[in-house]
Structure 1
Amino acid sequence: MTNDAVHRVEIAANQHRLRVIHGGITLADTWRGLTLMETGEPVVFYFPREDVNMSRFERSDHTTRCPYKGVATHFHLLTEEEGKVENAAWSYEAPLGAAARVKGYVAFYPSLVDRIDQTS
């Protein structure tokens, strides 16, 4: 949790199977995911990098900065059908304080992949 009394970042182990599917291909599949809940933001699922098919991703020059989580490195999704889906995923290489647990994890923009599933 952050020290800011108004803004909260909470991370919990996700007890469900999480998968990311795009173009009929499973890009990520884990039972070891994390759920990040942040004030004013939708819930985000984070996948351990070992459970992501990183051969389908290319590091982007694009970064974003969150005052609570740090600098996010982005990745392009490489597909056979669509070509490059720009900045479809991100990762915090050196997350700040409350976000430290997501180091080594990857998250995906739901609008840029076909599905992010959470099942039992």
Structure 2
Amino acid sequence: MSRSPGHRKQPDHQVRETRLRQPVEVEVEGVVIATSDSVVRVDEDNAPARYYFPRSDVRMEKLKRSTTTTECPFKGTANYSSLDLGERRLEDAVWTYEDPYEERPLRGTSRLGGRFGFAIGRTARQARNPVKAGPSGD
């Protein structure tokens, strides 16, 4: 298995994946976007936590695929979607790594591939159990 471009240049860079053992919910402006008990939390050096939900636990009708992509040298190409909240749309608020680098599997669970990511502090916030995510105003 080959290393990601980022890990070839920065072999000590940490991308830690943890399977959460509690329900997690993403709520934005009163609209529940995702609910799951199969969420992967990713803690990466110098970055806030990110939460990745299985596609089957995300309300796909609330997402509209955009043309935006970004390249993470450690995880791969991210494809973005906007959140449709009725009268308001949050552009590029959600992303997915459809084909992450091979070194990204989480031991004992599925990979990040095909999961949808939500940012804490950008479009989401963490709350009490069950973990809830919603807008933070950032």
Regarding TM over 0.5, the answer is: yes
**8 Å CA contact 1:10, 1:98 repeated in 2:** no
- Normalization by structure 2: what TM-score? 0.76
Deviation at 1:6, TM superposition (A): 1.9
Q: Which structure is higher in helix share?
A: 1
Residue number among 99, 103, 108 corresponding to 1:98 in the alignment: 103
Q: Is there any run of 5+ residues in structure 1 with no aligned partner, and where?
A: none
**8 Å CA contact 1:17, 1:118 repeated in 2:** no
Correspondence 1:35 to 2:41: yes
Correspondence 1:113 to 2:118: no
SS at match of 1:97: coil
Q: Which amino acid aligns with 1:104?
A: G
Identity of aligned residues (%): 30
Runs of 4+ residues deviating >6 angstroms: none
Q: Which structure is higher in strand share?
A: 1
Residue number among 80, 91, 104 corresponding to 1:86 in the alignment: 91
**8 Å CA contact 1:17, 1:30 repeated in 2:** yes
Correspondence 1:18 to 2:18: no
Tell me how large the CA RMSD over aligned residues is.
2.1
**Structure 1 residues 117 and 19, CA gap change in structure 2 (3 angstroms):** farther
Tell me the distance in 1 between the aligned counterparts of 2:68 and 2:115.
17
Deviation at 1:112, TM superposition (A): 4.9
- Normalization by structure 1: what TM-score? 0.87
Q: Which amino acid aligns with 1:113?
A: T
Structure 1 range deviating more: 110-119 or 30-39: 110-119
Q: Is there any run of 5+ residues in structure 2 with no aligned partner, and where?
A: 106-110, 131-138
SS at match of 2:68: strand
Corresponding residue number in structure 1 for 2:66: 60
Residue number among 5, 12, 23 corresponding to 2:11 in the alignment: 5
**Structure 1 residues 117 and 94, CA gap change in structure 2 (3 angstroms):** farther
